[in-house]
Amino acid sequence: MSAKALRSAQTLRTITLTVLALIAFAGNSVLCRLALKSDAIDPTSFTLLRILSGAAFLAALVFVTQRTSEAIKKPPISSGNWPSAIALFTYAAGFSFAYITMDTGAGALVLFGFVQLTMILISLYKGTRLSLGEWSGGFMAFAGLAYMLAPGADAPSLMSFTLMAAAGVAWGVYTLRGKGSSAPLADTCGNFIRASVAAVGLSAIMLMLPDSDIHLNADGALLALASGILASGAGYAIWYTVLPKLDVSRAAVIQLSVPVIAALGGVIFSGEPITQTFMIASILVLGGILLVIISRNR
């Protein structure tokens, strides 16, 4: 194979893996909303099955990769750390409870918006000076998120918005804590295993409540497992494989497509409409984040 053909094949592989990772990220929103909207499972059980199955898949993947490489073999639990695991669990739990009533696209937009805003604010707290373009983009994104709460028939409830915002903040913290990891797959696996302990604890607490509504059927369990194994475990593994081949600005820009993909998934699989509020909020949030990325790159 010629050098040109080899480069073309590598580029095609990178593009294919990137698209699969983005679909997986959006798929989490679609699967969770589909399961909870149909009342096939409760949010506590969805969170538990998602984290447990994701941990099992990642542990198997780490075992296989260590077995076929010269890497030092060590148990997955020795990787990762508890603060990151708590952030991961907070994200997963808030995500699930928010999607009881929130539409797929709106939830993904709020999640993604607060992830980016959290990372910007933490960078600001650490002393990073923002340019006028970055300030403008941040305010624009925040205005878009605030606009979603404007009174109207398609406005999400304050509770679901708050839960998804908390999930976004937690995922932003988790992302920053994992930045620069020398073994992202192993660390993610270790964090999933630790988060499983918190998920089991939440399930135990919910079961002890007198008005507990823990329930699931086969469809709900399959959707939760698909979210944990395919959309979370496999999705993160694919993303960490392709991420070194993308520069930071390009990786940030392409993630802007996730809420859009999630919204389309909500239309196709859940019959959810794309409302005017969502469209305007998307333009403000995604446009603001894009402005931040462009300004920072300059």
| Residue 87 identity (one-letter amino acid) | A
Higher pLDDT, 252 or 30: 30
Over the stretch 252-282, which tens digit does the pLDDT of each residue have? Answer: 778 888 999 999 999 999 999 988 889 999 9
Tell me which of 64-68, 83-87, 112-116 is least confident.
64-68
Place of tokens 């198997």: 60
Instruction: Give the whole-angstrom CA distance, residue 185 versus residue 79.
Output: 9
DSSP structure class, residue 256: T
Concatenated DSSP letters of 260-295:
HHHHHHHHHHH-----HHHHHHHHHHHHHHHHHHHH
Spatial neighbors of 64 by CB under 8 A, at least 6 apart, are none
Q: What is the pLDDT of residue 69?
A: 59
pTM, 2 dp: 0.91
| Most confident stretch, 129-143, 222-236, 253-267 | 222-236
Question: CB burial class (10 A; 0-12, 13-18, 19+) of residue 218?
Answer: exposed
Task: Please give the pLDDT value at position 176.
Answer: 86
Distances (CA, A) of 269 to 221, 247, 279: 17, 33, 19
